[in-house]
Amino acid sequence: MHEDPGPRPPAPNDIRLRKLLDDTLTAPHWPEGFVMRLFEHRDAQALHALLEEVFDDGTDGPFDEWWQRISGDAEFDPDLCFLVIDGKGLLAGAALCWASGFVKDLAVHPDSRGQGIGEALMRHVFLTFRDRGALHVDLKTNTVKNTVAFRLYERLGMIPVAWEG
């Protein structure tokens, strides 16, 4: 199982959160002017650029290395990569999930923040995995470096669990 969020131990303030997928889930509300669609191969470079923009930690590396690592991973399923496109046809946000029910990356472009895109993406992720028979969805975040996301996850009812899952 590849649910492990990484080979190294967690950084200070890293936390693993879980959402139990029960009957209380609500449908996403997509902000006006934005549409959600599934990932297609032609989206790979735009997705990489969005992740580079949002996560300034440099861990993704050059596109070719990143894409080979992502697309070659047994947990990668393009049907579990959800893209939000703005009115100009640009990638405004994305949720890249592993097949085991782990949200690898949730990213919203800085120009599109504050409109509910992240929340809508997470609600869509929850419903998708529940429909697939999963009992929960996990992710990791940092409570200090990523306080806005952490507050979103708390608002969505995600709770801390043991690092090992």
Phi-psi region of 139 (alpha: psi -120 to 50; beta: other; left: phi over 0): beta
For the stretch 54-64, pLDDT in tens is: 987 766 789 99
Fold (topology level) of 14-161 = Aminopeptidase (3.40.630)
What is the Cα–Cα distance from 119 to 125, expressed in whole angstroms? 10
Q: What is the pTM of this model?
A: 0.92
Please calculate the CA angle 86-26-3 and round it to the nearest 5 degrees: 80
Q: Cα 18 from chain centroid? A: 13
**What is residue 144's predicted lDDT score, i.e. its pLDDT?**
86
**What is residue 7's predicted lDDT score, i.e. its pLDDT?**
45
What is the Cα–Cα distance from 36 to 61, expressed in whole angstroms? 26
Please enumerate, as own/partner, the contacts of 55-60 that have beta carbons within 8 Å and a separation of 24 or more: 55/105, 55/107
Count the neighbouring beta carbons within 10 Å of the beta carbon of residue 44. 17
Would you list the domain boundaries of the chain? 14-161
Contacts with 151 (C-beta within 8 Å, 6 or more apart), sequence order: none
Tokens of 147: 């306080």
For the stretch 94-151, pLDDT in tens is: 999 999 999 999 999 999 999 999 999 999 999 999 999 999 999 999 988 889 999 9
